[in-house]
Amino acid sequence: MFLKVLALTDIHRSLNAAKGVANKIAEEHPDAILIAGDISHGSLNEAVNLLQVLNSSQKDVFFVPGNMDPPELMNWNERSIKNLHGRCESLDNYSLIGVGGSVYTPFNTHLEFAENEIAETLSQAFLKCTEKKNMILISHCPPKDTKLDRTTTGIHAGSTSVRQFIESKKPVLVVTGHIHEARGIDKIDETIIVNPGPAHMGRYVLIEFGEKIHVKLK
């Protein structure tokens, strides 16, 4: 079955960016929107308002909070805006699971976790899926030692737990963010990993699922 999604990350409280993406959603007609975190800067109201702007097209929105988002966002849900942190949701014949926040950073941001906490969140999400094939992972923090977790200083700032989950469970696609300068596409084994780049700079991706998965950086 053909499926088209629009994915973005790192809005960083930009209302202009959210409105711009909403316009692109109206143009591109995706079946759903995936958001890999850092929606706000610590405000639940701010995050909810931006999510509602992105939901204005009436397409289902699936999101995880980022490390800059408030802890309260981990438990916030709405009928057509679905929180994937530690959860599993269905989209056509795909299972969507997610983990928000990031590994510990030097900046003491709002939502940071130890590796064992990230591993436990992923495990709980996986157990909630009735269909464990055709899995899509939304993780704010990228997997360790890829093109998508490399900072400008050359440090690989991703999560070993996210990488181990990918190697073990083999999702077909991973959407990530967090490292703004690491926009791009990579693979771990046969799993495609994409960082759309920061939405507050106008970046997003279109992903088309058919016989193969096609990812277009936009």
- What confidence tens digit (pLDDT) does each residue in 1-10 have? 589 999 999 9
Tokens of 127: 């157990």
Contacts of 64 (CB under 8 A, 6+ apart): 35, 36, 37, 83, 84, 85, 98, 99, 100, 138, 139, 140
Per domain, the residue ranges of the chain are 3-217
pTM of full prediction above 0.95: yes
Q: For the chain, give the longest Cα–Cα distance.
A: 44
Q: What is the mean pLDDT of residues 23-35?
A: 96
* Architecture of the domain delimited by 3-217: 4-Layer Sandwich (3.60)
Query: CA-CA distance, 99 to 87, in Å (whole number)?
Result: 8
Length reported for the chain: 218
Query: Which 3 state secondary structure label does DSSP give 5?
Result: strand
pLDDT, tens only, 110-132 = 999 999 999 999 999 999 998 88
Please state, rounded to an integer, the average pLDDT across all residues of the chain.
96
Q: What is the mean pLDDT of residues 158-182?
A: 97
Helix (H) or strand (E) holding 78: none
